[in-house]
Chains A and B, each alone.
Chain A
Amino acid sequence: MPTGVIHDLGYQRYTGDRYGRAAIIRTLAGYSLRSAFGLGRGARAKIVPVAVFAIMSLPAVINAYVVARGGPRAFPYDTYSYPVRVVLMTIFLAAQAPELVSRDLRHRVLPLYFARPLRPADYPLAKLAALIAACLIVLDVPLLLLYVGTIVGVHGGAAVWAQTTALLPGLALGLLWSVVLATIALAIASCSGRRVFAAGGVAGFFFLTWVLSEVLGTVATSPGTAVVASTAARVAGLVSPFTLLDGVRQWLGGTSPGVVPDPGRLWGAGYALLLLALVTGSVTVLVSRYRKAGAS
């Protein structure tokens, strides 16, 4: 009668400390932030993020040169690189938001994530935090470069303080941009596991709404007259997140001229509310997407 025996290989259960949910979320966010810049993947994955960051920083570099020659700061903080910023952020988000979410959906690895002490909402929120951080780096680090490049050329504490007070709203605006754009982009990208469609959806949404609002804004004013904050122009600003952001900037007190005319107090509040609705709506879509997907 054949016998069998199971050998004691000395396996032991791990009884020590285990990392908890917070550590998982932190790790997931950190890993997602790195993949938002293509780190840890091949060289081709880095092309778009690095190029976007480089072009975004270009005015800061030019400014450093101008200041070194004795000129004043060449670019504003709060409308820095506007409107090129629109194109750059669209491309950045269209390329990188799918990197964060579509790959996991496509290869159906979500059950692997959720087989850990991770609540269903943790995964999308961690990814969102990472994408917001990535956008923040792309938007605010060039501002810091601009700041540093300028203060080496100015003298006196008052001048430095003046630069600092001008910088801070710019940084805050960068944060606002990051939160709004990253949330919307991630919500759209999470709707498809195919990179083509996720990227197409993000690019399509941002680009189409931007051009539409620009077109509506231009036709709202007779050619040759100054851009006036008419109702039509204000409605035009509702169409695109970028114009909404610019309108809110002016509502909050920003004085540099932007692409939309100053919406004024009432409409400005309306813009801000719409932005809030967009963000909460996107977060809801994102979280509910993963509540279901986690089960599959």
Chain B
Amino acid sequence: MNFDPTIASITVRAALGRRRALLYAIPPLILIGVSAVLRLTSPADPSWPARILGDFGFSVVLPLTALIIGTSVLGAEVDDGSVIHLLATPVPRRVIITTKVAVATVATIVFAAVPELIAGLIAAGPRLALGLFIGAVAAAIVYNALFVWLSTATSRALIAGLGYVVIWEGVLANLVGGARILSVSHYGLAVASSVAPGHALRPGVGLVTACVLSAVIIAVTLAVAVRQLGSFSLRGETA
């Protein structure tokens, strides 16, 4: 079995303990709140649902939430050394990684995909909302696999991930068409627009490409992360 409930419960408590869950709730609440306000005030631009749901919700709230959750599920423990308590056990490293990615994905879904669904229902119709939700779920899985791998690859995983989200996905993908092929948010948009076509979601890749590349990225990042975790070295006194 690739999932360990003990690790999952420790990860949930570590990542979402105390005030942190409240902080994660702020961006989605803003998303839902702003959608409601816009719905009530009917702004001048008729494409406003795509702007708030797409440019804000899908392209910013989702990746940033996935980034912070994804880099902290493993990164925080590696940082303070408490990952040893998981590693000094016969639990296969594969199970540790997949459990943590699963927890991170579920948390991302709760704090980003579900609010996207709710905001979508408020701002647009059920079709678009459902499409965006499923696309967000798909993107959440890929994002978290990517960010958990980054946590095993470098101690500055958050900055590296931030660079990816802000620079690669935020800036380059808009300017250079080819960059969209390696943009996870476009994979999500591709999935979303296959469920809800005709809503001007403008994904940069086709559905098949998105699914194939997503599967490849998930498989490769998880495999490398497992290998990295299996070669975990403790620094001695000369840190």
Q: Specify whether A and B are partners.
A: yes
Residue numbers of A with Cβ under 8 A of B are 44, 48, 84, 87, 90-91, 94-95, 194-197, 199-201, 203-204, 207-208, 211-212, 214-216, 218-223, 225, 230, 232
* CB pair B68 A219 closer than 8 Å: no
* CB pair B34 A203 closer than 8 Å: no
Which residues on A sit within 8 Å (CB–CB) of B79? 194-196
* CB pair A218 B45 closer than 8 Å: yes
**CA of A9 to CA of B59 in the docked complex: distance in angstroms?**
69
A91-B166, A197-B68, A232-B43 in contact; A215/B55 too (CB < 8 A)? yes
* CB pair A94 B55 closer than 8 Å: no
**CA of A95 to CA of B76 in the docked complex: distance in angstroms?**
16
* CB pair B52 A199 closer than 8 Å: no
* CB pair A44 B72 closer than 8 Å: no
Contacts A94-B162, A95-B159, A220-B45 given; 20 further ones with Cβ under 8 A?
A87-B166, A87-B167, A91-B166, A194-B79, A199-B159, A200-B68, A203-B64, A203-B158, A207-B60, A212-B30, A212-B60, A215-B51, A215-B56, A219-B44, A219-B45, A222-B45, A223-B46, A225-B44, A230-B44, A232-B44
User: Could you jot down 10 A-B contacts, CB within 8 Å?
Assistant: A196-B158, A197-B72, A207-B60, A207-B64, A211-B59, A215-B56, A219-B45, A221-B44, A222-B46, A232-B44
Q: Is B67 an interface residue (CB 8 A)?
A: yes
Q: Is B156 an interface residue (CB 8 A)?
A: yes
Q: Is B23 an interface residue (CB 8 A)?
A: yes
Q: Is B170 an interface residue (CB 8 A)?
A: yes
Which residues on B sit within 8 Å (CB–CB) of A195? 79, 158
Which residues on A sit within 8 Å (CB–CB) of B76? 194, 196-197
Q: How large is the interface on B (under 10, 10 to 19, 20 to 34, 35 or more residues)?
A: 35 or more
* CB pair B38 A219 closer than 8 Å: yes
* A26 → chain B closest CB, angstroms: 29
B56 contacts which of A95, A200, A211, A230 (Cβ < 8 Å)?
A211
- Closest A residue to B68 using CB positions: A200
The 4 closest A-B pairs by CB, nearest first: A219-B48, A200-B68, A219-B45, A222-B44
- Closest B residue to A202 using CB positions: B162
* Dominant secondary structure of chain A at its interface with chain B: helix
* CB pair A48 B159 closer than 8 Å: yes
**CA of A222 to CA of B48 in the docked complex: distance in angstroms?**
10
* A191 → chain B closest CB, angstroms: 9
Which residues on B sit within 8 Å (CB–CB) of A232? 41, 43-44
Mask, B15-43, CB within 8 Å of A = 1, is 00000100100010010001000100101
Which residues on B sit within 8 Å (CB–CB) of A211? 55-56, 59-60
* CB pair A90 B47 closer than 8 Å: no
* B142 → chain A closest CB, angstroms: 19
Which residues on A sit within 8 Å (CB–CB) of B23? 201
* CB pair B43 A219 closer than 8 Å: yes
Which residues on A sit within 8 Å (CB–CB) of B190? none
* A198 → chain B closest CB, angstroms: 9
B60 contacts which of A84, A95, A208 (Cβ < 8 Å)?
A208
* B194 → chain A closest CB, angstroms: 24
Q: Is B92 an interface residue (CB 8 A)?
A: no
Mask, B56-70, CB within 8 Å of A = 1, is 100111001001100
**CA of A220 to CA of B156 in the docked complex: distance in angstroms?**
38
Which residues on B sit within 8 Å (CB–CB) of A207? 60, 64, 166
Which residues on A sit within 8 Å (CB–CB) of B115? none
Which residues on A sit within 8 Å (CB–CB) of B55? 211, 214-215
* CB pair B156 A44 closer than 8 Å: yes
